[in-house]
A and B are shown apart, each in its own frame.
Chain A
Amino acid sequence: MLKLEARPQPSKFWGIGSPLLALVFTVIIGVAIFMLMGKDPVKGLLVFFWEPIKSGYALSELAVKATPLAIIALGLAVCFRSNVWNIGAEGQFVLGAITAGGVALLADASTGPWIIPLILLAGVLGGMFWAAIAALLRDRFNANEILVTLMLVYVADLVLSYLVYGPWKDPNGFNFPQTKTFEKATQIPKLFAGTRINIGLLIALFGVAGMWIYMFRTYGGFQLQVGGLAPAAARYAGFSSRRALWTALLVSGGAAGLAGALEVAGPIGQLTPYVPAGYGFAAIIVAFVGRLNPIGIVFSAILMSMFYIGGELAQSRLGLPKSLTGVFQGLLLFTLLACDTLIAYRVVWKSGSIKSGAK
């Protein structure tokens, strides 16, 4: 009989081993899914785990998708570590895209590259503003931030739709619901010619270092963590829970907004109803699979990006539905949560019954 036995200390080994084991289980279940759908599982796995890394260009595409995921997840990790549950990063991403897009639309042919910092700043402020609504409602009226941030996602989507179907619609766009293509000057600078990688990647890497330093080496980050882990200890120490709430939501909102700005002024280049790609929701999984740790988030963002690309390829190459991406994302989170049991418990084999009096 298998039994779970509590460990005296949480296992450091399984802290790292659990996501890897979860990945193994995800692959095994993935193979079963491919077989059930009548597809060659080897081909399926190649599409998900080999195609995205087989060439330089494929790797660059992997980075393009991983960048917004990592940026959003970094902000969310700060938030979740503070015990503030912002699950509406998607909405903050969209708002950031809208405000950044608004600034980009102001540019004309004579505009210089000075507009780019403004676009990014607008994105950050847009995301912060959207998160600040949730912070204000929580602070003033004790409204649940989980619900408020989630519902604001749909509001943000509708605001975007209103703008691209209405006032911001490209007059020369054959009535398609989209803005005009942004001026060349607004284009986020690329890092390598011939790829779509832009300076967003650098921003993400700086973000990783920045978040690590902030959370683990500064008093401010420590205060946030204490507020998340033990609210009574935070009160005892005199750390403000209101400040933690605002910091957490503004940081995560700002990060999501920045990712939105980098997307619209980068790979997309205009506002369309298809700006929301689910990055904000996927980033929640990225944050948790990455153990709310900045280094871990880098790896989980890459993994999640593989699922995105693999899902698209599975659609075009194998004729599988695109929703397979979501299935894989969900599987990974699900198996991770299951495997996390091993951090606090060990599995032991015990014979069925212990005879009383056995010596």
Chain B
Amino acid sequence: MSETTPLRLEVKSVSKRYPSVVANDDVNLLVAPGEIHAVLGENGAGKSTLMKIIYGAVKPDTGEVLFNGKPTHVRNPQEARALGISMVFQHFSLFETVTVAENIWLGLDKSFTLDAVRQKAAQKAKEYGLDVEVDRPVHSLSVGERQRVEIVRALLTDPKVLILDEPTSVLTPQAVRVLFVTLRKLAATGCSILYISHKLDEIRELCTNCTVLRGGKVTGHVDPRDESNASLSRLMIGAEPPKLQHREVNTGAVGMTVHGLSIRAEDQFGVTLDNIAFAVRAGEIVGVAGVSGNGQQELLAALSGESVRAPSGSIKLFGNDISRRNPRVRRAGGLHFVPEERLGRGAVPTMALAANTLLSRAADVVGKGALGWVSPKATASLAGVIIKDFNVKAGGPDAAAKSLSGGNLQKFIVGREIGAKPKVLIVAQPTWGVDVGAAAQIRGALLKLRDEGCALLVVSEELDELFEICDRMHVIAKGRLSPSVKTSEATVEKIGEWMSGLWQTPGVIAAAAQQATGAQHA
């Protein structure tokens, strides 16, 4: 770092304590202009709090923040944006009822007209290869699409410091490449980038500096290019994550077959499922890759029974047609489901963990009588077993679901479904926003379940994860499902290409091949 140019951002001995936890304890952070600086740490390590302090959303108890060498007291995000500090949050702050463009407009200088904002946003999105339709209402967007909106919104303010919180989790490998190119381009213009992530490969590839947090304290300040994944992991969690066992599969009976599953979109922004077909056998994990918003939500709702619009006979569970049965009937047949959203779908936020077992484990705890007697003892002991077996950090069976961190709640939900001894388990985004330790544990549990003879379908937007645990992979694009490919024969490039909807189907191989080559050159 040069002596003459002041640091773009300097955080000096910042501490912030919350009633129950010290989120930041004497944290220091130095960021030079044009630097891509990683902030690495597990969930709950204090990364988000630190970023919110820089962004003015949280006030530190002690310590100070210097911007361009001058002590700055950023009181709120508006002031931060005025200074040139922009942030893309992990949990999106978008208004669901209005369109993408209107959301972007809300965060900008009021001198622009909506129309100007629409054009600027569309242009910016194109410039950075981010696929965003500016006139869609936000409620119809998937998680991945919402994140893209947030990125575009941040870029529109021409930031001097851009904070990105786990930005790549929902992008295709190609899109990640494009994003990295743009981030480097942005950095070259002098904008400093704070890159919060737990993806070690990405950090080592992209970042030139890395500050590691653990338990609210800085545990290391390194150049990630000189580090290995293992050494970074050690700094982050104090130990290396356990290695996963991968072995050849012994598949058994067909658990779930889907054939001719076509469902028209419910509204203009939904995705129409087009003749989807696949099968999952006992003892294998089948992955579904794809960029979010390509029909994953619709497919999962049809498979779980949350939507019963599937044509008769299109979904079979051990030969029984379940396409129009509700989730409880499917569960009774051995089909369990871990949804993408934990709070509000996989669990009732305000209810205790004990009560939340009733969502999917009623068969184990509800009395047989007509009234359906619920014994608090039974639910609490079931929740206790899940907490113990899956090492969930929670206040106990009485803790409200929303009091758990994302990773711990996910462990609880996965544990709840696995504990039901499912014959077929569908998991959406098993480790989205989950820290490395918990993610490894969840993946290990899924592999163990497979080895015990369960048929698993994993829908994920994280390719690394699918490559790690799946035996076969499909790709979903624009409501169509690709043929499957063995993970051992798949490459990131090929899957990434398929994510654009270009795969070879028997009969039209030639045409598809031509298209695919065309796309590669494009």
Contact = CB atoms under 8 A, between A and B. Distances in A.
A235 B373 contact: no
Interface in B441-469: none
A236 B331 contact: no
Contacts of A229: 348-351
A358 B62 contact: yes
B173 interface: no
A226 B371 contact: no
Interface string A180-223: 00000000000000000000000000000000000001111010
A357 B59 CA distance: 12
Interface in A234-254: 235-238, 240
B112 interface: no
B71 A240 contact: no
Interface residues of B, number: 47
Contact of B347 (A233, A354, A356): A233
B306 A222 contact: no
B64 interface: yes
A233 B19 contact: no
Contacts of A230: 344-345, 347-349
Contact of A236 (B345, B351, B355): B345
A350 to B, nearest CB: 10
Nearest to B339: A236
Contact of A219 (B71, B346, B362, B376): B362
Contacts of B326: 238, 240
B73 A356 contact: yes
B366 interface: yes
B403 interface: yes
A354 to B, nearest CB: 7
Interface string A152-193: 000000000000000000000000000000000000000000
**Most B Cβ at <10 Å: residue of A232, A356, A358:** A356
A217 B344 CA distance: 22
A236 B19 contact: no
Interface in B337-389: 337, 339, 341, 344-351, 355, 358-360, 362, 366, 371-376
Contacts of B20: 8
Contacts of A359: 13, 62-63
Contacts of A220: 371-372
Nearest to A357: B64
Interface in A1-45: 7-9
A217 B351 CA distance: 14
A237 B372 contact: no
A236 B373 contact: no
A36 B59 CA distance: 45
A359 B60 CA distance: 10
Nearest to B306: A235
Given A230-B344, A357-B64, A236 B403 contact: no
Interface string B66-100: 00000111000000000000000000000000000
Contact of B327 (A232, A237, A357): A237
B304 interface: yes
A229 B400 CA distance: 13
B328 interface: yes
Contacts of B295: none
B306 to A, nearest CB: 5
Nearest to A231: B344
Nearest to B362: A219
A203 B467 CA distance: 63
Given A230-B344, A357-B64, A357-B71, A236 B337 contact: yes
Contacts of A233: 344-348, 359
**Most B Cβ at <10 Å: residue of A219, A220, A354, A358:** A219
Nearest to A238: B327
Given A238-B331, A359-B62, A222 B355 contact: yes
Interface of A: 7-9, 217-220, 222, 225-226, 229-230, 232-233, 235-238, 240, 354, 356-359
20 contacts: A8-B19, A8-B20, A8-B403, A217-B373, A217-B376, A219-B362, A225-B351, A226-B358, A229-B349, A229-B351, A230-B345, A233-B345, A235-B306, A236-B339, A236-B360, A237-B360, A240-B326, A356-B71, A357-B63, A359-B62
Given A222-B358, A229-B348, A357-B71, 11 more contacts: A9-B400, A219-B358, A219-B373, A222-B355, A233-B347, A233-B359, A237-B359, A238-B305, A238-B327, A357-B63, A359-B62
Interface of B: 12-13, 18-20, 59, 62-65, 71-73, 304-306, 326-331, 337, 339, 341, 344-351, 355, 358-360, 362, 366, 371-376, 400, 403
The 10 A-B pairs with the shortest beta carbon distances in the complex, nearest first, are: A219-B372, A238-B327, A238-B328, A237-B359, A356-B73, A232-B345, A357-B64, A230-B348, A238-B326, A219-B366
